[in-house]
Amino acid sequence: MSRTSSDAVVVHQREPFLRGFGSFVADVWAARTMLVSFVRKDLMIRYRGSALGIAWTMVKPLVQLLVFSLVMGYFLGFGDQIPAFGFYMFTGLMLFGLFADQLTGGATSVLWGAPVVKKVAFRRELLPLAAVGGALVNFTFMGVVLLLAYVVTRDFPNWHMLGLAVPALLITVLFGAAGAMLVSALNVYARDVQFLIDVGLLLMFWLTPVLYPWSTVQNTLAENGAPSWAFELYMLNPMANAVVAFQQALWPGVDEAVANAAAQRAAGEPFIADFDYFDSAFATRLWLMVLAGAVCLWFAQRVFARLQTGFATEL
């Protein structure tokens, strides 16, 4: 009994803002079994009574892939401009879907965990982190679909580009976990936050090159006389960098796209995708984004630690 009381003091004690992240990491690692059980419970509740169960995680992206491929690839002609357009779009949807799932799941995680929050002493951060874990499970199943598509079509990515997938995933998970932790705490005090997340994700989706090539933004800005920093401003979006890197890593058409751009440049066409932009400078940008994501996660956890003292009262 005394141990429970002591734990409760630790959970609700207000720590200095700049200190405490190390103890948070240690506590989460010590409670990793509880975290796994929260992830499992979240998935079970989400698909309880469903005939297909977790297979539903693949239905939505496959339907999106079918509809967008038809509309964007066939009707709007992007399929003629982008080699292996289906893979290009699916990889973008995969990564952005991972980011969106973390935020939407995290937004309501503390609210849904209210009965546990009121009665049991534990690290409250485990609730939004469980939403992150559930999103990663869904992402894994989509990865299985992608691997099967490679095998069926015999169209494989350039293995030399696979390394870009690592920082792309780290950016997505770090920023997603930071966002999930922050909005989960804010949503306890202002329930409108979960609805703002939906609007924000819709806006961010169209500001990220998922359904259109990044070169369209680059070329359109150049064609309309925009300053050179306008494209750099667009690429400050962490998910734009992550999605582009993930597509470059897993998109089978990247070599053909580079060759087509070189041929168009040799022919003197004015607005050509600048693939040189994604060489060493882009790799450096990606790892700087990873560092920025880690800082955002630290900040979100410190805000969460401050706000959690009022959870029991608000819930």
Q: What SS3 string covers the chain?
A: CHHHHHHHHHHHCCCCCCCCHHHHHHHHHHCHHHHHHHHHHHHHHHCCCCCCHHHHHHHHHHHHHHHHHHHHHHHCCHHHHCCCHHHHHHHHHHHHHHHHHHHHHHHCHHHHCHHHHHHCCCCCCHHHHHHHHHHHHHHHHHHHHHHHHHHHHCCCCCHHHHHHHHHHHHHHHHHHHHHHHHHHHHHHHCCCHHHHHHHHHHHHHHCCCCCCCHHHHHHHHHHCCCCCHHHHHHCCCHHHHHHHHHHHHHCCCHHHHHHHHHHHHHCCCCCCCCHHHHCHHHHHHHHHHHHHHHHHHHHHHHHHHHHHHHHHHHC
Q: For 189-217, write each residue's pLDDT tens digit.
A: 988 888 999 999 999 999 998 888 887 88
- Name the pLDDT band for 269 (thresholds 50, 70, 90): low
Q: For 12-59, write each residue's pLDDT tens digit.
A: 556 666 677 888 889 889 888 999 988 888 777 766 656 566 667 677
- Name the pLDDT band for 153 (thresholds 50, 70, 90): confident
pTM summary value: 0.86
Closest among 300, 285, 293, 272 to 234, alpha carbons compared: 285
- Whether the CB-CB separation of 158 and 81 falls below 8 Å is answered with no
Position 11 pLDDT exceeds 60:
no
Position 173 pLDDT exceeds 50:
yes
Position 300 pLDDT exceeds 80:
yes
- CA dist 82 and 27 (Å) reads 47
pLDDT at 112: 82
Position 6 pLDDT exceeds 50:
no
Write down the domain spans for the chain: 52-314
